[in-house]
Amino acid sequence: MTEQEFINTASKERERLLAIAHGYLHDWDAAADAVQETLTSLWVFRSRVDRTRNVASLLSTMVKNVCLMHLRKERPLTERLTINIPSSGNPHSDMEARERAEVVRKAMEGLSAQHQSVLHMFYSAELSINQIATIRNTTPTAVKQMLLRARKALRDEIERRNP
């Protein structure tokens, strides 16, 4: 990969990579750092990049891995997860809703990183199926499958923790 090819690729892919990173990290500054680290790695290993290879796909994988490494170093997603519960005006109902939210938050700890991530993107970040598909570099159908499996895993984890 020549210097000009790198510059063209970096400018073309930067925004897409930023969206992917933000989907994982939920922080624009951390996402920008992850993209910078990804592009730096591409620059360092540019001589090994095969011109026939799909560089966009390679960059998607690289930024995903950078984000996952970052998340492993930080506190778990479940500690950053916030479940917004609007007040109903009834203290008893509000207390029950908070207790249910805490059960869900704790059950999320038992899920895989992929399940936690897709549930967080859909429910907490309120991203659409299509937005998640773009971030995860997959199809909307695959995202729907991920959500189905993640919801089932969450139900199973809640039942396991609260027999």
pLDDT per residue as tens digits for the range 111-120: 888 888 888 8
- Identify the burial level of 134 via C-beta atoms within 10 angstroms of its C-beta, where 0-12 means exposed, 13-18 middle and 19 or more buried: middle
Integer-rounded Cα radius of gyration of the chain:
19
pLDDT band at 85 (very low <50, low <70, confident <90, very high): low
Q: Tell me if the domain spanning 3-73 has CATH number 1.10.1740.
A: yes
Domain boundaries, the chain: 3-73, 77-161
Backbone phi, psi, residue 128, to 5°: -80, 165
Q: How much is the average pLDDT of 32-36? A: 91
Domain 77-161: assigned CATH number:
1.10.10.10
**Model pTM above 0.85:** no
Task: Identify which has the larger pLDDT, 56 or 78.
Answer: 56
The answer to whether the CB of 163 falls within 8 A of the CB of 107 is: no
> Residue 102 pLDDT more than 80?
yes
> Residue 155 pLDDT more than 80?
yes
What is the overall mean pLDDT for the chain?
82
Q: How much is the average pLDDT of 27-51? A: 84
> Residue 51 pLDDT more than 70?
no
Tell me the CA distances in angstroms from 67 to 1, 8, 53, one per residue in order: 24, 23, 22
Task: Identify which has the larger pLDDT, 73 or 143.
Answer: 143
